[in-house]
Chain A
Amino acid sequence: MRDFSYLRADNIEAARNAAALPGAMLLAGGTTLIDLAKCGVVEPATVIDISHIEGLNAIDVTADRALIGALAKMSHVADHAEVKSLFPAVSEALWQAASAQLRNMATIGGNLMQRTRCPYFRDPANFPACNKREPGSGCSAIGGVTRGHAVLGVSEACIATYPEDLAVALVAFDAEVDLGERRLTVEDFFLAPGATAEQEHDIRPGEVITAIEIPGSAAARRSTYIKVRDRQSYEFAAASAAVGLELEGDGRTIRDIRVALGGVATKPWRARAVEDALKGKALDEATIREASELAMQGAVDHGANHYKIALAPRVIARAILKLGETA
């Protein structure tokens, strides 16, 4: 039997202490943890249930910032009136993630910690080689089925796509993650694989995500999230973009723009080259499309995922054009 012990943490201190135990894993909504345990990918020695900690599910939004507790449910954040009006891309990213049932269970903290959907990662019985699971064991994906794999931020060790939606919007708007003792930008919190594919997040034993803070901005207020996939709902992104736009008083010159990509990179991917190319430029389709191509600088494909290199810039361009139209 795969026995494990179960601890229920009633407060954040207890959670941190327990999280420092060897083999301990936090349980929030459980939609990732239990799934991966069933696949045999994780075998926690201790499961620490944090879902009962009070106050950790608060959502507090002002014009300056959104403060979202780690235990807030995806569906609550998505449906929050001020999140919708002041950070529309955040709400849209959440609405297009997973399914209604999952969003009602899943938490924002757990969402950030979600693992890749690489099919080789999820099937240890048949594919022992996976650097993310077993450092140094190799990568089963390279040379295999790669339609969903990343083209940006890949290494020889791992090409797994970061699958999640919310963090793409968070990265676009310089959000920070609160780990108690430490605070990091969400962008820094996620790690590209490099030679250490097993390290996905800058989080240390005993650390617990308590909240996410998103600074308010004009670009965040005028933002959107476009997610492209074969199926209309309940599918991970083939490519997605979170874009925020602030125009000059003339209504057509770009003052500030934020662009981040999902579904194509090993971590939520900020496309600064696109932002830099467009700041100060007029909102014109040809300019936007040309600049959007810059997001793919350094892209590397593995055959079946080649289409992502063509697709992602179009998603960016369409998101910008959509925001331009809704002046």
Chain B
Amino acid sequence: MTVHDMKHAASDSARLEAVGGRLSRVDGPAKITGAAHYAFEQQLEGLAHAVLVGATIAAGKVTAIDARAAETAPGVLAVLTPDTIMELKGASDWFGNPPALSTYCPLAREITFSGQHVAAVVAETFEQAVAAAALVKVWYDETPAIVDLSDGKAGDGIPIDAMTKEWGDAQAAFAAAPVRICAAYNTPREFQAAMEPHGLIARWEGDELTVWEPSQWLDGMARTYAEWFDIPFRNVRLVSPYIGGGFGSKALALAHSAVTAAAAKMLGRPVKLVLNRPQNFTSYGGRAATRQTVAIGADKTGRIQSIVHRGVNETAVDGMWVEPLGSVTSIMYATPNFSSKQNVVRVNTVVPGAKRAPGENPSAFGIECAIDELAHELGLDPLEMRLINYAEQDPHAKKAWSTRQLREAFAAGAEAFGWAKRSPQPRSMREGRQLIGWGVAAGTYPVRRAHGEAVVKLLADGSVEVESSSIDMGQGTYTILAQTAAETLGVPVSQVWVKLGDSHFARAGVTGGSRLAGVMTGAVYKAAGQALNELIGLALSDPLSPFHGLQANTLVVRNGRIASPRGDGPELAIAELMSMLGRERIEAKGDTVPPSFTPEQRYNNYTTIAMALPHTEGDYSRYSWCAHFVEVRVDEDFGTVRVSRVVSALDSGRLYNPKLAESQWKGGIIMGIGQALLEEGIVDRRHGRIVNSNFADYMLPTNADIPDIQTISVGIPDPHSSALGGKGVGELGIVGVAPAIANAVFHATGKRVRDLPITLEKLI
């Protein structure tokens, strides 16, 4: 069983079901009742269990591994080391660039970060594997590690020229500006911290590999497996119907994936490996730590004359991650002069990765705090400051916005929040011993677009199946695709079955960058439209059809029944018509791929991100927008910050399902509260090791930390962004939350905290 099969609530009315309706998650009942089976829950005959051994040093070499005690421990089937694991081929990266090396060993001899996998033990049971893994002895030749960006050995790093954005003469204009601010903003290493850990079950049948693994990108990961094991792409089947949270971390097949699939191949048995919680902090990267300086020069009325921005993010010794820190800086405000440059610094960490709104999120922290500082310097209301410098077009691309409802977001948010009652002076609002602060910040995220495909099947019983190898990690793909198919075909949602998360279904690109809803609603719309046309065509032309010979050039389907538009002639259920036509099914594959694409290009479209369409393609610049209004209460003795109110107004264009969009936005805002106040990977500087790699010590907000959050949709359909007019939803909500909170903390206390998270010792 790879898809949920719970019946949809019958009470959902047609209004809820249409695209744009507030239909509840169709996969909800399956998840609540436990009927939804996640990757690790597969029960397979002969399953063996693998457990990894991680490096206890952050830099150096493995000099020897003594596996004898582990090998003879009860239940042990194999101990894999760099010397004993089968050789894999190098795989191309996610842009499709060919590998630097022709072979790949997922167990390390050269250690570049603490926790790196050096060996794996496979045993009959999980407990046996855990016990034996503790018996593997590893000797190292340790060398000094660069633990983080503030390490004296870290240096200035490598300039990333592709990140440079400049116009006018920013330095000179800044120097000449009558009002100036310049400050440094830092964000720490953060982790996606999804509830469901990473891991997989791998099973070989001949040279066919099936992998059950939570995945945000089945086709991309299947490609990697195929290349590692040098087998055809179609020989890999990745299954991932449900994902317990990804937040950007589950898009790639990683070293532990390779170890598991190799172990399964070597042993001729299915193998399961699930990373324990600490390993989820070292086996893949979270958000890179960042440093930014933002200098803004303005005239006395508050008009920005120049922005000079410099950014640095950490990356790994043996892997490159660029967190684009100038992304929001360069587009949020109108400025005649601008300069942004970025370096990356190699430190001994696992290569950082994508975490919700990579780039935009830390970028907004810099510019949105800096603009608040400038407003304070000028004695201007921070909201007024933003309106004075409102960018009427994309200042960087110099193109018109496709849609930008940011002014509307400011207005709607301010009204609902009661911003006009804000007392401007810091430390001027209090209740007892709680200092109260109000802060505002804006956020944005580009509309990432791609080509997609889907299969829609009309079955003999009148039900509809939608198939796609895209996924639902909680954001609502099952639901909105059911809504799209139901609306396009004219059938109730309860007759639509959406099947996702199997790489043998119609192909899909990565679920990341908030693109999936736009891509997939477009593809399903197209496929469903084709299926409908075929049905109507047959109904009008097939001699067996009761509509045959009717004086109509089309038919309409409503509520699962087909009839002529004028209502003359018969009206039948789709199932009845299918039976009269003697058809088992009508199947259509629809896609939004340009007809000119070669098979190779199509393959790359789904298995790499190189084919994504630029958001500034053509005449328009496409972004979603938001404004967050936040109230904090800071205890004047303790320095503890609690967020007591959030009102956010967001422009994600047309919403396919407002209920799901709101929950995505709120999820982002909650994550932003954690980022602002709690989250930080704390490194032991002597060992280059994260010491709070568990859920008791890596702080995420609890329910008690989250106030009532009000979200307001101010979007309008954006025809330039997607087929149905939607823009991105999933990542937008988090962007701007941390600066809104930091600005509110300043307003409450008069203290500017520029290093996240804003923990109590920074305020006492």
Contact at B684–A145, with CB atoms within 8 Å? yes
Please pick, from B73, B677, B764, the residue contacting A311 in the complex, using a CB distance under 8 A: B764
111-130 of chain A: CB within 8 A of chain B: 117, 119-120, 123, 125-127
The distance in angstroms between the C-alpha atoms of A129 and B684, with both chains bound, is 14
Q: Known: A40-B134, A147-B682, A232-B704. Is A317-B699 also a contact (CB below 8 A)?
A: no
Q: Which of A2, A119, A125 contacts B692 (CB 8 A)?
A: A119
B704, A233: Cβ atoms under 8 Å? Answer: yes
Would you give the 0/1 interface string for B654-693, flagging 1 where the beta carbon is closer than 8 Å to chain A?
0000000000000000000000011000111111010110
Known: A143-B686, A230-B760. A1 touches B131 (CB 8 A): yes
The answer, yes or no, to whether A182 is at the interface (CB within 8 Å) is no
Question: With an 8 A cutoff between CB atoms, is A231 at the interface?
Answer: yes
In the complex, which residues of chain A have a beta carbon less than 8 angstroms from the beta carbon of B128?
1
Judge whether A242 is part of the interface by a CB distance below 8 angstroms.
no
Chain B: CB-nearest residue to A122: B694
Segment 240-274 of B: residues with Cβ below 8 Å from A = none
Given contacts A144-B686, A311-B760, contact A230 B677 (CB under 8 A): yes
On chain A, the residues within 8 Å of B127 by CB distance are: 1-2
Asked if B142 lies at the interface with its beta carbon under 8 angstroms from chain A, I say no
| Interface: B533 (CB within 8 A) | no
Nearest B-chain residue to A318, judged by Cβ: B637
Within B75-128, the residues touching A (CB, 8 Å) are 75, 114, 127-128
Are B705 and A232 in contact, with the CB atoms below 8 A? yes
B74 CB contact (under 8 Å) in A1, A125, A238, A311: A1
Q: When chains A and B are docked, how far (Å) is the Cα of A53 from the Cα of B291?
A: 58
Interface of A, helix, strand, loop or mixed by DSSP: loop
B697 at the interface (CB under 8 A from A): yes
The answer on a CB contact under 8 Å between B131 and A2 is yes
- Judging by beta carbons under 8 Å apart, are B699 and A235 in contact? yes
Listed residue (B639, B642, B757) with the most chain A CB atoms within 10 angstroms of its CB: B639
Most buried by B among A119, A123, A147, A233: A119
Within 8 A of A (CB), among B527-561: none
> How far is it, in angstroms, between the C-alpha of A239 and the C-alpha of B583 when the chains are bound?
73
Cβ of B640 within 8 Å of any chain A Cβ, yes or no, is yes
Interface of chain B residues 625 through 667 with chain A (CB within 8 A) = 635, 637-640, 642
Does A327 sit at the interface, judged by CB under 8 A?
no
Task: Provide the residues of chain B in CB contact with A238, threshold 8 Å.
Answer: 760
Least CB distance from A239 to B in Å reads 8
Interface string of A227-265 (1 = CB under 8 A from B): 011111111001000000000000000000000000000
User: Do B760 and A307 touch across chains, with their CB atoms under 8 A apart?
Assistant: yes
**B433 contacts chain A at the CB level, 8 A cutoff:** yes
CB-defined interface of B37-61 with A at 8 Å, one 1/0 digit per residue?
0000000000000000000100000
CA distance A1 to B73 in the complex (A): 8
What chain A residues lie within 8 Å of B759 (beta carbons)? 230
Query: A143 to B687, alpha carbons, bound, how many Å?
Result: 11
> Is A16 part of the contact surface with B, judged by Cβ < 8 Å?
no
Task: Please report A residues at the B interface, Cβ cutoff 8 Å.
Answer: 1-2, 40, 117, 119-120, 123, 125-127, 143-145, 147, 228-235, 238, 306-307, 310-311, 314-315, 317-318
A-B contact pairs, 17 of them (CB 8 A): A1-B74, A1-B127, A2-B131, A119-B697, A144-B685, A144-B691, A145-B691, A228-B635, A228-B638, A229-B640, A231-B699, A232-B642, A233-B703, A234-B702, A238-B760, A306-B761, A307-B760
